[in-house]
C-alpha cells in the first residue's frame, strides 16, 4: 500500500512539473525594444543634395582667326607654348596658343586644267601688252623727233603755231599711253602670279617657321590653366575654344536643388559642406536663381530644379585642396531652433490622420498622440503630447500594441 502512494505522489509531481514548464513557456514575455528619452536641444532642417565647385570667373580663350593652331601641351623642343593644366599664366604676357596660316586646299582635275589655261591666257596677255608697249615707244620716239624738228622750224618762223602745238600734243599723248601700257603689264603680271599661286601644291606650301608668320594668342587674365580644350594641332575656325583659365582660389559652389526646397531658402542662409574628402566647411547662400529647369534623375524621374550659388565662409586654408568641378554635398539650412523639444523620427507612426508614439508606461507600451512641427531626416520638432524625459519606443514593430509589455533591449 505505501508503495502505491509513493508511485502516485511521484506521478502527480511529474505532471505538476510538466504543467509548470508548459505554463512557463506559454506565459507572454515582454517585447524587447529600443528606448529613447524626449529631450530639448538644437534642431535644424536642411535641404541636402550634391553640389559642384566652380571657379567664379572662368576665361575661355578662343581662336581670334581661322588658321592652324599648334599643339598647346607638348614635350620641350617642339614649336608651341608648352602649357599644361595647372600652369600659372600672366595676363597679357603668357602665350597660350600659337596659330599659323592654313594650307591651301586640294584642287580637282577640272579646276586645275581651268587654272592652267587661265595662266597660259595671262602669259599671252602679257606678251600682247609688251608688244603694245614697244609700239607706243616707237610712236613716242617718232613724236619726239617731230617735236624737235618743229622747235627748230619755229625759231626760223617756218612752221605755224598750230603745227608746233600738235607736235607737242603728240609727244604728251604717247607718253601717257606708254605709262598706261606699262601699268597694264604690271596688272597682268600680278593676275598671272595670283593664278599660279592657286595652282600651288599644298605639300609645297607649308608656312614659314619664322615668328612673323604666326599669331600669338595671349592670356586675357592671370590665374591657372583649368582645362586645355584644343590640345592637339588642328585647323580651327574663328571663335573655337582653346583653353580655360581661372583662379582656383576664387571658388563658389553650385547646387541644383528641388524647387520645393528652393522656395524655403533665403539669401544668406548658412550651409554645411561635406562629402568632399576633408573636414566639413561652412558657407552661405549668395544667390537663388529666379528660374528653374527640368532635370532627369538617375532613376529616370523628371524633377524641377533650381540653381543655388554658395560662397565659402571658411578661410582658403580649410579647403585649399578643393579645385574646379569637384563634387561636394551641401546641407542648406531652411529652419533652425537652438532649444526645441524633439523626438526621433524613427519613433513616429501614423494613427489615422495624426502622428503617434509608444510611451514606456511602467513597462507597458502606451499609445500617445503627438503634434509635430518641422522635421529633418533624424529628428522632429515636438509641439505637444509629450514632456521632456518621457521614454519612447524606437522603430516600433507590429508586435507592439497599446498595453503590450515591453523591456529595453540590452
pLDDT digits (tens, 9 = 90+) for 2-24: 556 676 667 677 777 776 666 55
Name the pLDDT band for 232 (thresholds 50, 70, 90).
confident
- Give the chain's radius of gyration (CA, Å): 48
Partners of 293 in beta bridges: 305
| pLDDT value for 408 | 86
Q: Is the dihedral of CA 361, 364, 368, 373 positive or negative?
A: positive
Cell of 401: 500594441
What domains appear along the chain, each with residue ranges and CATH number? 31-43+339-408 (2.40.420.20), 46-54+248-336 (2.40.30.170), 61-102+214-246 (2.40.50.100), 109-199 (1.10.287)
Cell of 158: 617756218
In angstroms, the first-to-last Cα distance of the chain is 55
DSSP character at residue 201: -
pLDDT digits (tens, 9 = 90+) for 326-369: 999 999 999 999 888 999 999 999 988 899 999 988 888 899 99
| pLDDT value for 61 | 93
Question: pTM for this structure?
Answer: 0.66
Mean pLDDT of 43-63: 92
pLDDT digits (tens, 9 = 90+) for 102-141: 877 778 888 888 888 988 998 999 999 899 999 989 988 9
Name the pLDDT band for 156 (thresholds 50, 70, 90).
confident
Mean pLDDT of 379-400: 89
Name the pLDDT band for 26 (thresholds 50, 70, 90).
low
Q: What angle do CA 305, 308, 310 make, to 5 degrees?
A: 155
pLDDT digits (tens, 9 = 90+) for 367-389: 999 999 998 888 999 998 888 88
Looking at every residue in the chain, the average pLDDT score rounds to 86
| pLDDT value for 371 | 93
Amino acid at each position: 500500500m505505501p508503495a502505491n502512494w509513493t508511485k502516485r505522489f511521484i506521478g502527480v509531481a511529474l505532471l505538476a512539473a510538466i504543467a509548470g514548464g508548459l505554463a512557463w513557456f506559454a506565459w507572454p514575455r515582454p517585447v524587447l525594444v529600443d528606448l529613447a528619452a524626449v529631450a530639448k536641444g538644437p534642431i535644424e532642417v536642411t535641404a541636402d543634395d550634391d553640389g559642384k565647385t566652380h571657379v567664379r570667373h572662368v576665361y575661355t580663350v578662343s581662336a581670334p582667326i581661322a588658321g592652324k593652331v599648334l599643339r598647346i601641351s607638348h614635350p620641350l623642343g617642339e614649336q608651341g607654348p608648352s602649357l599644361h593644366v595647372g600652369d600659372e599664366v600672366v595676363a597679357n604676357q603668357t602665350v597660350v596658343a600659337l596659330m599659323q596660316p592654313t594650307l591651301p586646299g586640294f584642287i580637282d582635275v577640272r579646276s586645275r586644267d581651268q587654272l592652267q589655261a587661265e595662266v597660259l591666257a595671262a602669259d599671252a596677255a602679257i606678251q600682247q601688252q609688251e608688244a603694245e608697249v614697244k609700239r607706243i615707244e616707237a610712236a613716242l620716239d617718232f613724236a619726239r623727233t617731230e617735236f624737235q624738228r618743229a622747235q627748230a622750224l619755229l625759231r626760223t618762223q617756218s612752221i605755224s603755231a598750230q603745227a608746233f602745238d600738235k607736235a607737242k600734243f603728240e609727244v604728251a599723248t604717247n607718253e601717257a599711253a606708254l605709262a598706261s601700257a606699262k601699268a597694264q603689264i604690271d596688272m597682268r603680271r600680278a593676275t598671272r602670279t595670283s593664278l599660279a599661286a592657286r595652282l600651288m601644291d599644298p605639300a609645297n606650301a607649308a608656312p614659314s617657321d619664322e615668328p612673323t608668320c604666326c599669331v600669338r594668342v595671349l592670356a586675357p587674365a592671370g590665374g591657372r590653366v583649368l582645362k586645355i580644350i584644343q590640345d592637339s594641332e588642328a585647323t580651327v575656325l574663328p571663335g573655337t575654344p582653346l583653353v580655360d583659365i581661372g583662379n582656383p582660389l576664387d571658388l563658389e559652389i553650385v547646387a541644383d536643388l528641388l524647387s520645393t526646397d528652393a522656395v524655403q531658402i533665403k539669401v544668406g542662409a548658412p550651409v554645411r559642406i561635406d562629402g568632399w574628402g576633408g573636414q566639413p566647411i561652412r558657407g552661405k547662400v549668395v544667390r537663388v536663381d529666379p528660374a528653374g529647369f527640368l532635370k532627369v534623375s538617375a532613376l529616370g524621374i523628371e524633377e524641377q530644379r533650381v540653381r543655388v550659388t554658395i560662397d565659402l565662409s571658411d578661410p582658403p586654408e580649410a579647403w585649399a585642396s578643393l579645385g574646379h568641378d569637384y563634387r561636394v554635398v551641401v546641407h542648406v539650412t531652411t529652419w533652425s531652433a537652438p532649444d526645441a523639444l524633439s523626438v526621433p523620427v524613427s519613433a513616429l507612426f501614423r494613427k489615422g490622420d495624426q502622428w503617434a508614439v509608444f510611451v514606456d508606461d511602467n513597462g507597458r507600451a502606451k499609445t500617445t498622440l503627438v503634434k509635430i512641427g518641422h522635421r529633418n531626416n533624424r529628428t522632429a520638432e515636438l509641439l505637444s503630447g509629450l514632456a521632456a524625459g518621457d521614454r519612447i519606443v524606437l522603430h516600433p514593430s507590429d508586435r507592439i500594441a497599446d498595453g503590450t509589455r515591453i523591456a529595453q533591449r540590452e
